[in-house]
């Protein structure tokens, strides 16, 4: 328990120093990047990988002595949490790691299966299920991690109920979410300047069914679900400088189009959405040196323990 408290008492709003030698968070320096993943998936992992890695640190994932971990990578996507866990396990000869990686999207799971085969990972089971309906045995996992997934769920209470149920006593759950979409002014400016007839995008956080951008909301939700020692803190970080403007513009455009699809009419979406990528890239090149967005991302990391 004390070990967990120490991990949870790390300073808030921590800004990490980017290390370009990290092969997982900077695909440009990885001598063997996973060819099974499309470029956009690699870009997304380079955006969300830093908070995921910090989440593992705060959950005290350390392979030493006889430590044995059974982890659910919930709403796993293409598997950045699984990849980070595997990297930690490879760097140590101690401890044991078994992972269940789950998602509701069979297409991304197919990519993950190819990644597992390509990387030669052992001890990773892939399952298709909704994060709010976990079909796994009670008290069977030491850790459950959900990286930028819970705020998409219409039933975050059910997510937490299931996570708490499958954790062993003393088990740890970790969640990442966005505090703010700090770059959102880029696509809104892009539309105003380059696609002026398009409707406004609005606030993207209103498109999420739950309020995980609020630390107090996250803490209360976890406490209500039975978790103790809950800590929810803002985590600020910068993107790696090797991320090409074209790639980040495409990642920005993906969320902008997701919001537009929900807010705009079908006719407006068909007419204006194809112009979003280029408009965003134009703003990046106009407002930032070499087109590199150099401001902080703001995530929230929430950790709790099952008593």
d(CA 235, CA 21): 21
pLDDT of 4 over the 50 cut: no
The predicted pLDDT at position 122 comes to 93
Least-confidence region, from 159-173, 239-253, 264-278: 239-253
- Output the six-digit token pair for 140: 């069977």
Please give the average per-residue pLDDT across 35-50, as a whole number.
90
The predicted pLDDT at position 207 comes to 79
Q: Mind listing the pLDDT tens digit for each residue in 120-176? A: 999 999 999 999 999 999 999 999 999 999 999 999 999 999 999 999 999 999 999
**Mean per-residue pLDDT over the chain, rounded:** 88
Q: What is the pTM of this model?
A: 0.87
pLDDT of 233 over the 50 cut: yes
The predicted pLDDT at position 177 comes to 96
Query: Coil, strand, or helix at residue 222?
Result: helix
Q: What are the start-end ranges of the E strands in the chain?
A: 68-74, 96-103, 124-128, 141-147, 167-180, 227-238, 296-306
């Amino acid at each position: 328990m004390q070990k967990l408290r120490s991990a949870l008492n790390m300073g808030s709003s921590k800004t990490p120093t980017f290390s370009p030698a990290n092969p997982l968070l900077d695909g440009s320096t990885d001598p063997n990047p996973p060819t099974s993943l499309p470029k956009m998936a690699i870009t997304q992992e380079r955006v969300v990988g830093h908070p995921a890695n910090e989440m593992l640190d705060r959950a005290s994932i350390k392979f030493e002595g006889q430590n044995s971990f059974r982890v659910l990578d919930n709403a796993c996507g293409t598997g950045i949490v699984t990849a980070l866990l595997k990297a930690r396990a490879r760097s140590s000869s101690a401890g044991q790691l078994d992972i269940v990686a789950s998602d509701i999207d069979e297409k991304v799971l197919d990519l993950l299966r190819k990644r597992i085969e390509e990387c030669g990972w052992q001890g990773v089971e892939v399952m298709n299920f909704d994060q709010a309906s976990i079909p796994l045995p009670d008290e069977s996992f030491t850790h459950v991690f959900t990286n930028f997934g819970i705020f998409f769920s219409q039933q975050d209470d059910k997510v937490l109920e299931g996570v708490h149920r499958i954790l062993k006593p003393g088990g740890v759950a970790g969640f990442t979410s966005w505090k703010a979409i700090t770059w959102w002014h880029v696509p809104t400016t892009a539309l105003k300047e380059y696609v002026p007839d398009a409707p406004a995008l609005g606030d993207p956080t209103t498109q999420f069914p739950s309020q995980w951008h609020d630390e107090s909301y996250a803490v209360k939700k976890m406490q209500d679900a039975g978790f103790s020692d809950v800590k929810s803190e803002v985590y600020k970080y910068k993107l790696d400088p090797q991320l090409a403007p074209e790639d980040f513009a495409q990642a920005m455009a993906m969320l902008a189009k997701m919001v537009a699809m929900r807010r705009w009419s079908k006719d407006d979406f068909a007419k204006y959405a194809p112009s979003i990528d280029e408009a965003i890239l134009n703003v990046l090149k106009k407002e930032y040196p070499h087109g590199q967005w150099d401001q902080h991302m703001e995530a929230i990391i929430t950790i709790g323990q099952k008593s």
